[in-house]
Amino acid sequence: MKPLWRIPDFLDLEYFFIQDKQLAEESGEAALRDRDRKLYLEEIAPDPGGVDPEREWLIFRWLQERRTRENKNQGGQALLPGRMWYELYGLFWSVFSFLAMGVGGGAAYSFLSYSGEQPVNVSLFFLVFVGFQLLLLLVFLLLWTSRRMRGLDLRSSLLLSLVNKALNSFLFRVRRYGIESMEGGRRAQFAAALAAVRTRGKGYGALLFWPPFLLFQLFGIAFNFGVLAAVLIKVASSDLAFGWQSTFQLSSQFVARLVQWLAIPWSWLLGPQSYPNLHQVEGSRMILKDGFYHLASADLISWWPFLCLAICCYCLLPRIILFMVGIFWRKQALAAVSFGRAEHNQLLHRLRTPRLETRFQKAAQERSQGESSVGDSDAMMQEVLVTPEKTAVNGALLALIPDELFAHCDPEELQDLCYHAFGYSIGKSVRMNEEYSDTSVIFAELPDVPGSPCPPLLILQEAWQPPIQEVLRFFQDLRKNCDEETHIIVALVGRPTPETIFTPVSAIDLQIWQQKTATLADPCLQLSPLVNVS
């Protein structure tokens, strides 16, 4: 995928998808098809002689046009989820940087307060400002490795969920002045768009994991810069003394060897003067009963280069590495975003497929009224519908047809309807058992090789028969045997007539099916009438 997509773009895309779903429920699918087809022809359509554009480019151009129209409708710069994310994420970067640097610098400066009566305890300083950060990094790496070995997704992390919820809550609180002026429907659409990107399966993966991950690394980087700045300022502006002590009976030789071992990452480059030697370690040891006035100044100041370099090596450098890793994986996550979901397929279908449903419906109505012939113009229209030159925008699907409809299902008519309603062709048709109990024939058509893509599915259903629990369980079983992003279309038809089973669906029947299938909470399950009345 080209790098034109960013996280704010996906937030706006989901927001417009949610708007379109509500528009389809209120005004019908025809309103969406008319709008998007007109938008494609007037604003998006490439040069007829050019190369057929990629679907990512078409979707992005559609998104740009939707943003432009939204801005016009709201009389200026529209308040969209992507814009909010972009502005607030930039604010977080600035706030986190200054806050972390202030916290690190303030904590280290107060810790290094030296009145001349007691040297700064090197052991405690190292434990607080180096050891604690090392422990956090070690725990993070262990948890990360454990989750990867168990194959757990990042979205299942409790910490990540809490962080995402906190960031989203803060996002709405900060921009309350703009959101409070919205109607309740738009506020709900905002929340739904954020939730869709955060919880979507393979489509977005852990895309929203990386922004807070990078913010945490930025906090760590700025924190350590603040600590380093405080140490250098104190060393330059005061006569700072460092010493070490421990209740444990540790020998000076052991501490010297430990310091030498810790200094390995930089001592090969800066030499032995970058850490205290055995003599300096012995000379800076504080014993409570002896006081410290007998200790030499050269030994007491030999620790600060070691402390600064330890912070750089064990705290600052790992954070910088993790930050760069986060940037790399964020790019990988953006490049891996899937554009093969149901919403994407239907959008491309609306953009690139000519509007011919009115012509087909007129011919279907004439057949249902028992007319023996049609005019020449209508015959030409019908010929256009079945021409073999037309190609399905979204490819071929596997049609699952109930036993009671299979014998009366005209393959050519189903092909035409499926093409114009969903942008698919029929690759293969499978007869379903009437009680949905024998699913072995159906599942045998699905790939059982791990990693093999499952074909999109079309399930033909009679809308005048309300969905029973067995049908809903069948949909769930199909999802379990398919990929979580596989497009499953429940194509509804109305009451059959003597001439055809492909009749329009009543509004009441459609509403009943929508309410029932909504309980499945399957974002890639599409419920649509097969015959569209224009």
User: For 341, what's the count of Cα atoms within 13 Å in the CB-facing half-sphere?
Assistant: 22
Structure-block tokens of residue 218: 């930025």
How long a stretch of residues is the chain?
A: 534
Q: Which residue has the tokens 């609306």?
A: 350
> If residue 57 lies in a helix (H) or strand (E), which one and from where to where?
helix 55-73
Instruction: Mark residue 75 as left, alpha or beta (left: phi above 0; alpha: psi -120 to 50; beta: remaining).
Output: left
- The CATH class that applies to domain 364-529 reads alpha beta
Q: For residue 3, how many other CB atoms are within 10 A of its CB?
A: 8
Give the bridge partners for 454, in sequence order.
none
As a whole number of angstroms, the distance between CA 206 and CA 337 comes to 10
Residue 348: count other Cβ atoms within 10 Å of its Cβ.
Answer: 21
Q: What gap in Å lies between CA 445 and CA 448, rounded to an integer?
A: 9
Is the whole model's pTM more than 0.85, yes or no?
A: no
CA separation (Å) from 302 to 255, 273, 347? 14, 9, 68
Mean pLDDT by 10 residues, the chain (534 residues): 76 87 80 88 69 79 91 78 82 89 92 73 90 90 81 62 62 52 58 63 69 89 95 86 77 89 91 87 73 66 90 95 92 84 86 60 46 38 39 80 87 88 87 67 66 80 90 87 84 90 90 88 85 69
Instruction: Give residue 367's identity as a one-letter amino acid code.
Output: R
Q: Give the pLDDT of residue 394.
A: 78
DSSP secondary structure of 410-429: -HHHHHHHHHHHHS-EEEEE
Distance of CA 446 to the CA centre of its chain: 27
Residue 405 to residue 422: CA distance in whole angstroms: 20
Query: φ and ψ at 458, to 5 degrees?
Result: -125, 125
Do the Cβ atoms of 3 and 57 come closer than 8 Å?
no
Q: Where are the domains of the chain?
A: 7-81, 87-335, 364-529
Main-chain phi, psi angles of 415, to 5 degrees: -60, -45
Contact indicator for 283, 299 with CB cutoff of 8 Å: yes
Secondary structure of residue 450 in the 3-state scheme: coil
- Rounded to whole angstroms, how far apart are CA atoms 390 and 153? 41
Other CB atoms closer than 10 Å to residue 430's CB: what's the count? 14
Q: What is the token pair recorded at 337?
A: 């975003």
Res 386: pLDDT: 36
**pLDDT at residue 51, as a whole number:** 55
Q: Would you call 444 helix, strand, or coil by DSSP?
A: helix
Q: What would the two tokens of residue 462 be? A: 């009679």
